[in-house]
Chains A and B, each alone.
Chain A
Amino acid sequence: DTEVTQTPKHLVMGMTNKKSLKCEQHMGHRAMYWYKQKAKKPPELMFVYSYEKLSINESVPSRFSPECPNSSLLNLHLHALQPEDSALYLCASGPAGYEKLFFGSGTQLSVL
């Protein structure tokens, strides 16, 4: 299995909602990433898990909360988001050290 699976594909939520994005990979990768991508912009790193431990938090607002239940799963919990948080959220996995990242198809998030 050479895919990174993300659910849901689309999500519309209000500013008071709580939702979660899910990501799964079965390639035995030890690093998993959350990226945020605005239209016509490159992906921006949000979180990195290496061997199931959060290694980098790029000063992301606390309304985004990552979770890595095991080496194959990665979640992103969302709470009290703002309209400017609307974007494509991409999950990626890789062997380690940012090399050969495989991206999921993303969750297109709209915050109303």
Chain B
Amino acid sequence: GENVEQHPSTLSVQEGDSAVIKCTYSDSASNYFPWYKQELGKRPQLIIDIRSNVGEKKDQRIAVTLNKTAKHFSLHITETQPEDSAVYFCAASNNNDMRFGAGTRLTVKP
């Protein structure tokens, strides 16, 4: 089955800096890669996603890149703000299954 590894497990940045979270997957049939943000005590929320036929997608301060050959994808947050502090989960889906990474706790210091 699919195995998704996520790094780092914790990340602390200064407000205004960029943050990068990386994930690798094992199933070459995976074709959909979402990123979820979960604030403390809240629900996971989809913040951006990418399909396997696209290499990069951007939405304001958030971008995701995908390297199918290397089976890795990354989340990039620019100009970080304190409200970006949360746990971020990557995931990989082959339409029949979806596996989450272990999560990255991002802290943005004012």
Contact = CB atoms under 8 A, between A and B. Distances in A.
Interface of A: 40-43, 45, 56, 90, 97-106
B79 to A, nearest CB: 26
A98 B98 contact: yes
Interface string B86-110: 0101000101111011110000000
Given A103-B45, A105-B43, A97 B101 contact: no
Given A100-B49, A102-B46, A42 B95 contact: no
A106 B44 CA distance: 10
Q: Give the interface SS of chain B, mostly helix, strand, loop or mixed.
A: strand
Interface residues of B, number: 20
B43 to A, nearest CB: 4
A45 to B, nearest CB: 7
B42 A105 contact: yes
A103 B43 CA distance: 6
B43 A106 contact: yes
Contacts of B98: 45, 98, 101
Given A41-B102, A99-B49, A100-B46, 11 more contacts: A56-B97, A90-B44, A98-B95, A99-B32, A100-B34, A100-B49, A101-B34, A102-B46, A104-B43, A105-B42, A106-B43
